[in-house]
Structure 1
Amino acid sequence: MKKYMNPNVDPCENFYEFACGNWRNYHDVPPDKITYDTFEIARDNLYFVLKTLLETQTKTQTKSHFNDKTNYHNLKDYIGENYQIFDDSDAIDKAKKFYKSCMNEDLIEKRAEKPLKKLLEELGGWPIITSNWEQSEVDLIWVLSRLRLLNNAILISQWIGPDIKDSNKHIIHIDQTTLGLPNRAYFLDETNSKPLKAYKSFILSIAKHLGAETSVALQDVDDIVDFETKLASVMTPLEERRNISQIFQRIQIRILIERYPYFNWHSYFSTILEREIDLQSTVACYCPDYIHNLLNLLNKTNPRIIQNYLLWRFIKHRTSNLDSRFLDSEQKFYHALFGIEKRPPRWKFCVSQTNTNMGMAVGALFVQNYFDENSKTDTIHITQEIMETFINSIEEKLWLDEDTKRLAKLKIKNMDLKIGFPDFLFNSTEVNLKYQDVKIEENFFFENVLSVLRHTNREGQKKFGLLVNKSQWNSPPAIINAYYSRSKNQIMFPAGILQPPFYHKHFPKSINFGGIGVIIGHEITHALDDKGRLFDHEGNLQFWWDNKALVMFYERSQCIIDQYGNYILPESNTTVDGILTQGENIADNGGLKQAFKAYKNWLTKNPEVDETLPDLDLDGPQLFFLNFAQAWCGKQRIESERNRIKTSVHSPGIFRVIGALSNSDEFSMVYNCSKNSPMNPVEKCDLW
């Protein structure tokens, strides 16, 4: 902690520089990353542990010999409606085999583009590489639904989730699409010509690897990007979609068919759900205008362009599963877009791929070998203390009426806590059954990914019509992250994040409350941020605020919007979007205040405890704020900085520190900051 501080800086002038000023002298952004910060260091530490575990021997050793001529993987099966596998063998062994298949670069090079090319043929062919492509042979709904079976939602985002009006039921949800570049501005803003040019070059390069003739491909690539630009233009901007109650519609499939007859909804849903769909079934729609405009666009577009675009979006996600030519093209694109200089080490890529694709199996391996149950218990206690503090703080809010207070406290009291990992990870039978429809072979990395994609899609779609199990874990344990679910009123802290500098069972409580405690408080506050406040204690979209309280909420949140909207990153001369980052900024401010109050309560109950650290002349409360700030020490590339400030809902780390601390009276008291010093302005934003 001490080596990262810059003691020459007055903490009341710029606490981020005081806490993190020397961090840059010890760390550069690695060539394979877009940013390097405390979270990335923790992630690297976790990945090294996972690598060691995944490289241990499987329980049942098998000899496998690759022979491409006797390849028993029929790629057509992966897009078949009735594709079923039953294999209840050891899931951890499957994860290790998946990792090994990813690490087998020689074989991946030998197989080259063959697996992808064969699959593209089964999907109706990619016109850009198919000289005799016939548009009459391809049906839009057929292709879209088959891609969704492989967990690719293109043109229309579709998933099964809790009904936001009745969170106990699973229904179909549909929304506008994602794009091949980070957001619609990349296609519509003329200042983004460089990334757009790199995107075209990326598509062309991949097409040539798959056998396209340059003379044909150039026009096809232009058509693909032109179509995607038109697609971006009919999408609603993110800032106009923040209030979910204003864009949400419940609609039966039969009505959907009546309103949008040019799209075969019945066939689409029946295929991806792998069952006949009832036309009375309810759909949650967040994009009626987009669907209308999308269908008009599709009606005016040449089928060749549509097929080229659909398969391109699928191919883009699969380039990382192929040989070095595809990886090099992908890397060149990411360099232009984010400034990344090289690919990560293969082992790190394969650990990430394995954890992404088989997260619960990897999580079981991790918690069985490394995770301390005492850490889970301790974190639960910290969480409960912060929740209690939060409830007491709500009672003290003079701007809230009694009814709104009561319902806000009810929401916090009913919050479901998920800390560390689900207990079933110690039951090998349950873990094995979770992956019983996944087939993993050491020689077939590409097919292994397809098998997991089918599994992931099936896991999601089979929830349709079922009651919501609000006790279910959805997050893999071995990750560095934390979540709040509005529909479940649930906070989740996976085991992976319970490590230094955020937490350690032997740290002083000041460090733990300033680290994981603030993160816990952050996630709790999401229950009452600009989006979370729309949902009640059971996770239902419901208006439960008194009108006067709501007006006060808007005034106080506007203060935060204006405050953060005035922050400018000097390196790239870019301004923070106060509206886009509103929810996270509210959560940062609330999380810091409630975690510190909980820590002070703990100190009152434990007055004899020594909270100091050797050779660091700071008391417990000062260490609390120092560790909070040092969680956000970091550097990022200019290209990444420009991208993230346009697209990320989180403010840059420096402003997450300065913004929350400058609103904290407690911080100013602890560090004795005079009135109107930069870190102690007279006018402060105060919400939670």
Structure 2
Amino acid sequence: MNYIKPVSLSLMTIALVACSNGEDTTANETDTTLPELSSGIYTEYMDTSVNPGDDFNQYVNGKWMATATIPEDKSSVGVWSTLRDASQDNVKIIIEESAKGDFAPGSDQQKVGDLYNSYMDMKTRDALSVKPLQPEFGKISAIANYDDLAVYFATANKRGYNMPFALGQYVDFKEPDTYMMYTWQGGLGLPDREYYFKEDDKSADIRDKYLQHIENMFDLAGFNAGKQAAATIYDLEQKLAKVHMEKEKTRDMVALYNKVPREDLAQIMADFNWSAFLQEAGIDTIDGLVITQIDYMKALNGIISQTSIADWQTFLTWKALSANGSRLTSAIDKENFDFYTKTLWGAKQQRPMWRRGVNVVNGTLGEVVGKVYVARHFPPEAKARMQHLVDNLILAYRRSIQDLTWMTPETKEQALDKLSKFTPKIGYPDKWKDYSDLEIKADDYFGNIERAALVQYQQNLDRQGRVVDKSEWQMNPQTINAYYNPPLNEIVFPAGILQPPFFDMNADDAVNYGGIGAVIGHEIGHGFDDAGSTFDGDGVLRNWWTPADKEEFKKRTQALVAQYDSYQVFDDLNVNGTFTLGENIGDLGGLSIAMKAYKLSLIGEDAQVIDGFTGEQRVLIGFGQIWRGSYREELLRQLVGTDPHSPAQFRVNGTVRNVPEFYSAFAVEKDAKLYLAPEQRVKIW
């Protein structure tokens, strides 16, 4: 589940639609027309010999985890990877219908088929070698001074190359009906700044392998002096990493929103040719930019001017080569895999080429295949039942806010106003993306990806200054995920995630409230987490809290930070409670409100006992089983260092121990390992 903000600034754009909510009277009645509903619980995966109060994740998923084997081509296995594979299987069928057909040039089918075929045609890619990159290397070699360097930064940014800072379009935090251009720190080849400075043996080994990877890539591209180039590149990346804003601070939306008038940009980077950069970027008439990391950009000014043009050329050659590591020859592709997936994630071998090809099509022409995917795999009744669940979750959230004892009426009024303006999007967009400007050729994979990036960039330029398009989605319908957008105040659930164990049309409501209900609540909760709560109901970045309520909110969230800081992933590695705070708030609020919504849906009736479990037990088990998974150590370590989500076992155990119904449903006593005294349990929403 994602919380969309301009972290990567790969020209992200988000949308908003006005939301209407019914009167707060009674919950919508549960649909009783479906016959013989199952429990939806995977009892064969449960280890009921475990006390649920000691390890609820083990209790729910223990038998599965005891026998789970991670395939050689994966870094993890579980619910998420299984559903993603199934989605890819279905998309492959759609793609191959186009890949094997003869369709009119410019048609959607031609583009899908030829893009896939161009990826799969490794014989042509091997024959071309690095020839497709020669024009790029020529541009880099032609850089004669720092003005040229500024121009090249803008040129490379259009293709999504990893420059020292990115420029991208996003909704304006202060005026969410308009678009704004933002900068974001960049330039690192390792996953996070900390990788450059940690002194433990594992980190040192990764750095050594990264240096060797750079050298290997230079050798494969036919360049000389790869070892010297690697040292130059690493040294420059380390200088950038030293001044990068820490990831924990990038959650502070207020601190990130620094709109600098165009004429004042020189005060941030005095030696940088902003005029040349903005002209090449195509936004030379813009009145200003949002500089998200002010201190980083100020420090970057000195790094740029103190680094020779020759060293910058070496650095930029690496960024062009690395950005295209999976688009060139089989040897370069394998080397790219060996470091970024094998070393960092622990996978032993590459995924089948067809799966990688499906990913390329999904990432480039996703809504073309998404339209067919929805028609085949997402029945209208699923959308209707999902809407029913969303309505009940919003109702439950409303009642929960009204009942809060720690919040004043003034702040409650603002919170309820925000909740009333949430926009749910379910399944697929009402308006599909237009790919008519994109030319796809069957024998030009590199060019296809290049053209796709430039078309997307130009489309964003064309709408700069226009009203925000509120119909767009940031995930394809076939995606197994969900997200929330703060300046658009929308919660989005693609069709792909709306299947078991998240959402089971043939299961009793309880397990669905614990699964997709908790996901819905999670995404709503992002609107009220440490970052989302800085935006109001109209998506405007402003403080709608009284000082006392804000202080109490911080007190409660800090208690959650302390809990997660104490969770030990390995002997030498704990969860980062500060970095994962937003997702932990989402999980806690999601399950708490899902439980409340389930109770409301019963309308005073007693829940059935199914498979020996009460309704409340099934809600909690339904939540636990969506996080069923097993991970390689390499991946888990990287996730702890770079992912704002806590590891799966702590998303289960760390959440349920703060939910009162967990204690009553499973008779959790004081001597249980997950037990928290009532006063220690965190309740925010």
**Local SS of the residue matching 1:166:** coil
Q: Measure the CA separation in 2 of the matches of 1:247 and 1:206.
A: 35
2:207 to 163, 188, 196: 196
Query: Which residue among 300, 322, 342 is the counterpart of 2:349?
Result: 342
Structure 1 runs (4+) deviating above 6 angstroms are none
1:628 counterpart = 2:635: no
Flag the 1:256–1:503 CA change in 2: closer, same or farther, 3 A.
same
Structure 1 Cα separation of the partners of residues 323 and 645 of structure 2: 25
The aligned residue for residue 55 of structure 2 is 14
Give the aligned partner of residue 174 of structure 2.
165
Distance, in Å, in 1 between the alignment partners of 2:572 and 2:146 is: 51
CA distance in 2, matches of 1:177, 1:238: 12
- Between the aligned partners of 1:593 and 1:175, the Cα distance in structure 2 is 35
- Structure 1 residues 548 and 348: CA distance shift in structure 2, 3 A: same
Following superposition, the deviation at residue 388 of structure 1 comes to 0.6
Question: Take 1:269 and 1:260, find their aligned partners in 2: how far apart are those partners?
Answer: 14
Residue matched to 1:141: 150
1:487-526 deviation line (CA, Å, top 9, x unaligned): 1011111111111111122222112111111001000000
CA shift, 1:59, in A, is: 9.6
C-alpha deviation, 1:436, in angstroms: 1.5
**TM-aligned CA distance change 1:646 to 1:27, over 3 Å:** same
TM-score (norm 1): 0.89
Deviation of the 1:28 alpha carbon: 1.5
Is the CA contact (8 Å cut-off) linking 1:485 and 1:491 kept in structure 2? yes
Give a deviation string over 1:463-503, Cα, whole Å, max 9, x none. 32122233432322111111110110111111111111111
Secondary structure, counterpart of 1:251 in structure 2? strand
Q: CA–CA distance in 2 between the matches of 1:62 and 1:550?
A: 59
Aligned pairs for 1:476-495 within 5 A:
476-495=476-495
Match of 2:506 in 1: 506
Equivalent residues of 2:502, 2:516 under 8 A apart? yes
Please tell me whether the aligned partners of residues 162 and 319 of structure 2 are also in contact (alpha carbons under 8 angstroms).
no
How do 1:250-649 and structure 2 match up within 5 A? 250-273=259-282, 277-278=284-285, 281-333=287-339, 334-425=341-432, 431=433, 434-570=434-570, 573-604=572-603, 612=610, 616-649=611-644
What are the Cα deviations for residues 294-337 of structure 1, in whole angstroms up to 9, with x where unaligned?
01011111111112212312321211112210122112213222
Aligned to 1:100: 117
State how 1:645-664 maps to structure 2 within 5 Å: 645-664=640-659
Compared with structure 1, are the counterparts of its residues 59 and 195 closer, same or farther at alpha carbon in structure 2 (3 Å cutoff)? closer
Please give the alpha-carbon distance, in whole angstroms, between the structure 2 residues aligned to 1:505 and 1:533.
Answer: 33
In structure 1, distance between residues paired with 2:429 and 2:483: 15
Residue 684 (structure 1) aligned with residue 681 (structure 2): yes
The equivalent of 1:70 in structure 2 is none
CA RMSD of aligned residues (A): 2.0
CA spacing shift, 1:438–1:605, aligned 2, 3 Å: farther
Given the superposition, is the C-alpha separation of residues 57 and 223 from structure 1 closer, same or farther in structure 2, using an over 3 Å criterion? closer
- 1:43 corresponds to: 84
Q: What is the DSSP-based 3-state SS (H/G/I as helix, E as strand, rest coil) of the residue aligned with 1:36? A: strand
Shift of 1:566: 0.5
Q: Does 1:121 align with 2:118?
A: no
Secondary structure of 2:161's partner?
coil
CA gap of 1:348–1:59, structure 2 versus 1, over 3 A, is closer
Change (3 A) 1:148 1:247: closer
Secondary structure in structure 1 of the residue aligned to 2:177: strand
1:124 Cα deviation from its structure 2 partner: 2.8
Q: 2:70 aligns with which of 29, 44, 69?
A: 29
Equivalents in 1 of 2:671, 2:253: separation in Å? 38
CA drift at 1:259: 4.4
> SS of the counterpart of 1:22?
helix
C-alpha separation between the residues in 1 aligned to 2:146 and 2:675? Answer: 68
Q: Secondary structure at the match of 2:467?
A: coil
Q: What letter corresponds to residue 116 of structure 2 in structure 1?
A: Y
Q: Is the 8 A contact 1:162 1:171 kept in 2?
A: yes
Shift of 1:135: 4.4
Deviation at 1:153, TM superposition (A): 5.1
Worse overlay, 197-206 or 396-405: 197-206
Aligned-partner Cα distance in 2 for 1:448–1:90: 15
Separation in 1, partners of 2:75, 2:406: 42
Kept in 1, the 8 Å contact 2:561–2:578? The answer is: yes
User: 8 Å contact 1:92–1:364 — kept in the other structure?
Assistant: no
Distance 2:76 2:311 in 1: 36
Q: How does 1:202-217 map to 2 (within 5 A)?
A: 202-213=213-224, 216-217=225-226
Shift of 1:57: 3.6
- Distance between the aligned counterparts of 2:479 and 2:363, measured in 1? 9
How far 1:240 sits from its partner (Å)?
Answer: 3.0
Q: Which residue of 2 aligns with 1:129?
A: none
- Deviation for aligned residue 1:675: 3.9
1:151 and 1:456 in contact (8 A); partners too: no
**Cα distance in structure 2, aligned partners of 1:217 and 1:656:** 43
Partner SS for 1:124: helix
* Structure 2 Cα separation of the partners of residues 212 and 681 of structure 1: 60
Q: How far apart are residue 358 of structure 1 and its match? A: 1.5
Q: Distance in 2 between matches of 1:359 and 1:39?
A: 19
State the one-letter code of the partner of 1:212. Answer: F
CA distance in 1, matches of 2:529, 2:496: 26
What is the alpha-carbon distance in structure 1 between the residues aligned to residue 187 and residue 409 of structure 2?
42
Say whether the 8 Å CA contact 2:214–2:226 is kept in structure 1. no
Q: Cα distance, 1:379 vs. partner? A: 0.9
| TM-score (normalised: structure 2) | 0.90
Q: Which amino acid aligns with 1:632?
A: W
Which one-letter code corresponds to 1:326 in the other structure? Answer: I
On the 8 A contact 1:162/1:487 being kept in 2, the answer is: yes
- Any idea what SS the aligned residue of 1:493 has? strand
The higher-RCO structure (CA 8 Å, 6+ apart) is 2
Matched residues in 2 for 1:3 and 1:348: separation? 30
Q: Are the equivalent residues in 2 in contact too, given 1:206–1:329 (CA < 8 A)?
A: yes
Deviation readout 1:347-401 (Å, 9 max, x if unpaired): 1111111101211112112112222121112111101110010011000001100
CA shift in 2, pair 1:134/1:90, >3 Å: closer
- Work out the CA distance in 2 between the residues paired with 1:134 and 1:238: 32
C-alpha distance in structure 1 between counterparts of 2:583 and 2:143, whole Å: 49
Q: Distance in 1 between matches of 2:146 and 2:49?
A: 71
Distance 1:243 1:135 in 2: 39
| Higher mean C-alpha displacement, 260-269 vs 671-680 | 671-680
Q: What is the CA distance between 1:123 and its match in structure 2?
A: 2.4
Structure 1 unaligned blocks of 5 or more: 64-86, 126-132, 426-430
Partners of 1:316 and 1:678 in 2: how far apart? 47
Q: Which amino acid aligns with 1:668?
A: Y
One-letter amino acid of the counterpart of residue 575, structure 1? N
1:21-47 Cα distance to aligned partner (Å, 9 max, x none):
112234222222222221111111111
- SS at structure 2 position matched to 1:228: helix
Task: Say which SS state the counterpart of residue 385 (structure 2) adopts.
Answer: helix
Partner residue in 2 for 1:61: 102
Q: Secondary structure at the match of 2:448?
A: helix
